[in-house]
Structures are given as C-alpha cells and as structure tokens.
Amino acid sequence: MKPVRILFVCLGNICRSPLAEGILRHVAGDGLVDVDSAGTGGWHIGDPPDRRSIAVARKHGIDIARQRCRKVHAGDFEAIDLIFAMDASNLATLRAMAPLDAQHKLHLFLEYTQGIIINVPDPYYEGPEGFETVYNMLFEGCMLLIGRLEERS
C-alpha cells in the first residue's frame, strides 16, 4: 500500500506545523506516511523552523533543523490525501483556498485525531514551556493518527 500523503498547516510554517511534521515522520517510520508541512502565509519561505521548535524537537530526539518553510500552494489540494490545520483560523483559510473536490481532505488536527474541537495554540509569543506544551499535544495527536492510519490499511 502506498503511503498516506499528509500536510500539516499553520500560519507561518515555523512553529507548529514543522514540529508536527518532524514528530510524525519520527514516530511513523518508513512506509506509512509521506509527510510535509506548510504555512498559509508566506513570510518565512525558505527559512528553517523557529529555533524553539528545533530545540524542543531535539530535546525529544527529533531533528527538524533541515526543514524549510514553504507556503501552501494550489497543487497541494490535489497531491495530498489529508491536510491538517493546527487551528480554526488556518482551517478557514484552507477551506477558502481549496477547490470543492478537495474540501473532504481538510481537517482540524486535534478534532480528527482526538475527536475534540480544539486548536493547537501558537507558541510563537511563549517561552520554552509553550513549545513543550505544543510538542506534547502534537505527539499525542500523531500517535492517535498513526493508529487511525494503521486501521485503514
């Protein structure tokens, strides 16, 4: 079976979505997923993730330092199987961008994985504890996502 193509999306693609990408790639291993991340905004295109995201990932044995930020583009809606927004605002932006035949691919991450309508908070204006909280939320969500994907295969 071919890997499920997953895209994590936040605003700038420097904090939450690259961290989610790194976590899922790390815990899923090879074969189950093909994972990427992007932002709805293009301010950081080509930049590495926020140093605090890199640090919290490293603390948990995950290297995301070589990732580079990119913006969501029209081709993503065709190429990707599941697109996960980190919060309701970015989900609304994605819904406005996506063609009708791709709307079913768009989900709020924690609603899809945990069944609760809750945002992954943006830790940009927080200290290390905010990034640790986000890491834990994303890790739990990614573990639940793997379970759902394994059930499908």
* Whole-number pLDDT of residue 87: 98
pTM for this structure?
A: 0.97
Nearest alpha carbon to residue 37 among 81, 60, 71: 71
Residues annotated as catalytic are 10, 16, 122
Q: List beta partners, residue 107.
A: 84
* CA pair distance 138, 112, nearest whole angstrom: 12
pLDDT digits (tens, 9 = 90+) for 85-119: 999 999 999 999 999 999 999 999 999 999 999 99
Helix (H, G, I), strand (E, B) or coil at 108: strand
* CA pair distance 109, 52, nearest whole angstrom: 21
Binning pLDDT at 50, 70 and 90, where does residue 2 land?
confident
* CA pair distance 131, 144, nearest whole angstrom: 20
pLDDT digits (tens, 9 = 90+) for 41-82: 999 999 999 999 999 999 999 999 999 999 999 999 999 999
